[in-house]
Every structure is written in structure tokens, then in C-alpha cells.
Structure 1
Amino acid sequence: MRTRHSRRWTICLISVALLGVTAGCGTGPEVAAGPLAGPDPVPAAHSAADEQAAGKAALTAYSGYLEASRVASARSDPGHPALPRFLADPLLTRVRVAIRDAKEHGALRTGKLVSDPTVVSVDLATQPPTVQIQDCLDATGYRLVYAKDHRVVPGTRGGRYLATATATRYPDGRWLINAGAAHQDQPC
């Protein structure tokens, strides 16, 4: 029974903690803290250069998110200061909860997560503007281990799989990753 419980928390933790990229929506304070969306009666025309700049900024935020998440997970630090520089709610909260859960179970992440992201769409006409990112993540060298002896947590798996993320431009001009999903059932 203990093994079954261990597997359950491990599977739950892996699905959330590996990247913490899960899609979601909020109806409470998350929405109030989210990007401001106002009426835009006349959609502005955006040049290819504007879209390219937005894509580049979104990829920078995505890369920063992966690195900040990796460092915070390795240190078991859900309050790591780099996380809010690249993440926004609801994803920020989910990543912090996943890191905290791993810490409470005596686990942390080690190794390297290899990423190969691409921009699949840019929508600057919506309020707020968004960029969709698709990534082939290689987590074969990125492991959840017990902090005490660095044994791999049973039931954790690496591999290569598809991940998607949404970057949103906030009123202060920053592009932050605020939603995403890990598609571990879709190898790449």
C-alpha cells in the first residue's frame, strides 16, 4: 500500500513538477493579477518585424522559465526570485506548488533538461497579445531524486516529449509564460 501511495504522489508530482506546465484558468485573485484586457475597437496592423520581435521575446521568457524552474527545483526553493521574472499565474503558482511538494517528500530535481522550442503562432491583435510555443523536451537526463541519497524516485520517467506554452505580454511590456502543458504521451 505504501508503494501505491508513493507511486500516486510520484505520478502526480511528475505530471506537474517536470515542467509545471499545465493549462488552467482562474476565477479568483489569479484573474485580477493577470494581464489587463481592455476594449480594442480597431485592431492595429502589426508588421512582420513586430511579430518576430514578439516571438523572440516570448522564447526568451520561455528559456528563462525553464532555467529558473530547473534551478529552483534543484535547490528545492519554491520562492526562488527568478521564477516571477519569467512566469505568471496560474503557471507560477503551479510550479511553486510542485517544487514545494517535492521538497516535502524529500525530493529534488537534478540533471539537465534539453529544450528545442519554436514559435507556432503570434497574435498581437488580441488583448492581451499572446505567443504560442511548442517544444520538444528531452528529460532523459533530468531526474527527480531523493535529496538524502540521490536515488531516483521510483515511477519517474524522463524521455522526449512535446510541450506547449503560452507567453502573454503584460501591461508593463514583459512577456511571461502563464500557461502550458506537458504532453508526455506524445513523443517527439
Structure 2
Amino acid sequence: MEAYVGMWGAMAEAGETSDWRSPELARYASGDALTTISGSLYADARNGVITLGRPVNDPQVVSAEPPEEPTTVLIEDCGDSSDWLRYFEDTREPVDDEPGGRRAIRAEVGVQSDGVWRVTRFAVQELGSC
């Protein structure tokens, strides 16, 4: 759970400047998850977009494998981005017409080769999906 919540916090912090190279991202995410986050922040940096505020998460573990000594955990969340929105850096005007809101999120968190739990992949559904 710490890796999952930490990933969103690191993403929010990096989003304030669209710092796609932030070392904090790799502290909580790896694999597809890290690639997705870094790519999104890179695109925002290229387009002069920043993200301000913080997401609100309410994650729940839905499975753990193997049950005896888990190395992979699946998490479901209904994340709220109402106070975590994208803005043009130079004008602070909103990028999107729609406000944030609640979205269903599924994530896989696993123990990595260095023994640290990190989010390896996640999927965020459309606005209003939870």
C-alpha cells in the first residue's frame, strides 16, 4: 500500500514542474508504471503543462499472490482528481474543460529484485467510473 500511495504522491510532486526525471518516481514505480508516468510528464513538459494539487486515494488490496508470502498484490482504488488538475504553466489557465473527479484504478504492486515493493502497472478508467 505504501508503494501505491507513494507513487501518486511522487507523481503529484513531479507534476508541479512536469519533472519526468524525478528520482522519486522510480522509488515507487517500475516497469510499465514508471514508463507511463514518465512519458506523461515528458509530454506535459514539452507542452508547457503542469499539474497542481493532490489526488485523493482510497486503495484496497483485492488479492495477494502467493497467499502465504505475497510477492504480488492487486489494488483497486476509486481515486479522486477533483483537486489535482492540469494547467498551462505560463498562464495558469486550466488545460481541460472538465473538472477532475472519481475514477476507478487497478494496480499491480510487486517485490522487485532489490527487495523493494513498487507499482509495476496501473490502469485508470474514465471519469465517473466509480
Do they fold alike, i.e. is TM over 0.5?
yes
RMSD (Å), alpha carbons: 1.6
Give the number of the structure whose residues are more often helix, by fraction: 1
Give the number of the structure whose residues are more often strand, by fraction: 2
Hey, what does 1:134 align to over in structure 2?
76
| Aligned mates of 2:20, 2:40 — CA distance in 1 | 8
| Aligned mates of 2:41, 2:93 — CA distance in 1 | 18
Across the two proteins, how many residue pairs are aligned to each other?
128
Cα deviation for residue 156 of structure 1 reads 5.0
Cα deviation for residue 185 of structure 1 reads 5.1
Q: Which of the two has higher C-alpha Rg?
A: 1
Hey, what does 1:3 align to over in structure 2?
none
CA contact (8 A) 1:144 1:156 kept: no
1:65 aligns with 2:7: yes
> For 1:179, which of 115, 121, 124 is the aligned residue?
121
**Correspondence 1:10-89 to 2 at 5 A:** 59-89=1-31
* Identity of matched residues, %: 29
- Alpha-carbon deviations, 1:85-130, whole Å to 9, x = none? 11001211111110010111111101121111010000026xx921
> For 2:48, which of 106, 115, 118 is the aligned residue?
106
> For 2:38, which of 83, 96, 106 is the aligned residue?
96
What 5-or-longer segments of structure 1 have no aligned partner? Answer: 1-58
| Aligned mates of 1:94, 1:132 — CA distance in 2 | 18
Counterpart amino acid of residue 79 in structure 2: L
